[in-house]
Amino acid sequence: MTILLIANYRSSVGGISVQVKLLKEKLEAENIEVALFNTKKPNILRVFLPFLLLSAGRRYDIFHVHGCSYAGFFPIGLGVLVGKLLKKKIIVTYHGGGAEKFFSLHQKLIKYVFTRADHIIVLSEYLKNIFAKHGLNTDIIPNIIEMEPGNYRARTAFKPVMITTRSLEAVYDLKTAIEAFALVKCKYNDAMLYVVGTGREELALKKYVTEAKIRDVIFTGYIENERIYEYLMKADFWLNPTMEDNMPVSLIEAIQAGLVVVSTNAGGIPFMVEHKKSAWLVDKGDSQAMGEGILYLLANPEICKTLVGNARSSLGNYQWEHIREKILSLYGQ
């Protein structure tokens, strides 16, 4: 059995790229021949990718394609159509939280492409329900995470040090996290917020912080994924103000690092963590509720310990030992 992974891949970047890298490593450890076909190319060069994939894909038995919505759908469309021409077994793993809107805008395209795949993998019950609305059957196989002892810090006390590790894009609504932090800062002079990452909202967010005179918001800029735990160790609370999401790897990383998760209840988040049991969840765009939640948790460290402990108990679901048989059975091994 030989497998070709097809995806928009960027080294040292989180999200889909990390998952593709981990899957490749795990399959190679199983003595399975696996290669990566990278579709992350400048638009002017993408016109050549179908021909390159036709040539490279001939020697592989299975096309395992990874993609998401909008521009991230390109690898899926390419991999499925070329895979059908070459009469390959096709497996698609669909990532990303924008599926509901994307599917409603492109129903014919979605139906045409996905009905030509042999198997569709989704990461959560949330996405499975969306696919089911369009008559598409899926298998739930979550993201993979590596459990490294050095990536965890036990916290006996919880300081007002917060971090966000989402891209600085409108969909992740980082302004809500900054507004929530400002509420905490009014009570805790030593409060700090690390904003890790870059994106199109970076200048606007920095301008807002300056004009609102919010102190101790630290924009780190781009951080390689290999260094993410270095920054997670600095904080005690992970803020996730996202407007839409599926199964963010960044949330799993925060849980592994031992942080208290304070997040919106968007998309697939409530399928991963439960309000007041393993996280503190608030409505989208509600910075007041997020800030008040953090203040409540700071005043109740025993609740913080409970949330962290319950969240960490779920991490076994994301380890290769739990996922391995599901993946290999879809491959036919």
Which pLDDT does position 137 carry in this prediction? 96
CA geometry: angle 113, 114, 118, nearest 5 deg = 120
Band (312; pLDDT cuts 50, 70, 90): very high
d(CA 154, CA 176): 28
Place of tokens 């912080």: 209
What whole-number distance in Å separates Cα of residue 220 and Cα of residue 197? 7
Q: What is the pLDDT of residues 95-151, one digit of tens each?
A: 977 888 999 999 999 999 999 999 999 998 999 999 999 999 999 999 888 888 789
| CA–CA gap between residue 146 and residue 163 (Å, rounded) | 21
List alpha helices for the chain, DSSP H: 16-29, 43-46, 49-56, 74-85, 99-105, 107-114, 125-133, 174-187, 202-211, 228-232, 249-257, 269-272, 287-299, 301-312, 320-331
Q: Token pair of 299, please? A: 């005043």
**CATH class in words for 2-141:** alpha beta
pLDDT at 149: 77
Closest CA to 258 of 177, 164, 155, 163: 155
**∠14-10-272 over CA atoms, to 5°?**
25
The pTM of the full predicted model, rounded to 2 decimals, is 0.84
Count Cβ neighbours within 10 Å for each residue of 122-137 and write b for 16 or more, e otherwise. Answer: bbbebbbebbeeeebe
* Nearest by Cα to 35 from 49, 25, 47, 46: 25
Q: Report how far residue 330's alpha carbon sits from residue 175's, in angstroms, rounded to the nearest whole number.
A: 41
Tell me, what's the pLDDT at 42? 84
Q: Residues 213-266: pLDDT tens digits?
A: 999 999 999 998 889 999 999 999 999 999 988 888 899 999 999 999 999 999
Task: Tell me the average pLDDT across 173-200.
Answer: 97
Q: What is the pLDDT of residue 46?
A: 87
CB count within 10 Å of CB 261 equals: 21
Question: Region 167-191: what's the mean pLDDT?
Answer: 97
Q: Judge residue 221's burial from the number of C-beta atoms within 10 Å of its C-beta, 0-12 exposed, 13-18 middle, 19 or more buried.
A: exposed
Domain 149-316 has CATH 1.10.3370.10: no
DSSP letters spanning 119-184? EEEESSHHHHHHHHHTT---EE-PPP----GGG----SS--SEEEE-S-SSGGG-HHHHHHHHHHH
The CA distance from 305 to 150, in Å, is: 19
- On the question of a common fold for 2-141 and 149-316, the answer reads yes
Q: If you search the block for the tokens 């076994």, which residue do you land on?
A: 316
Q: What is the Rg, in whole angstroms, of the alpha carbon atoms belonging to the chain?
A: 21
193 Cα distance to chain centroid: 21
Q: At 22, which amino acid appears?
A: L
Domain boundaries, the chain: 2-141, 149-316
- Provide the mean pLDDT of the chain: 94
Max CA-CA distance within the chain?
A: 63
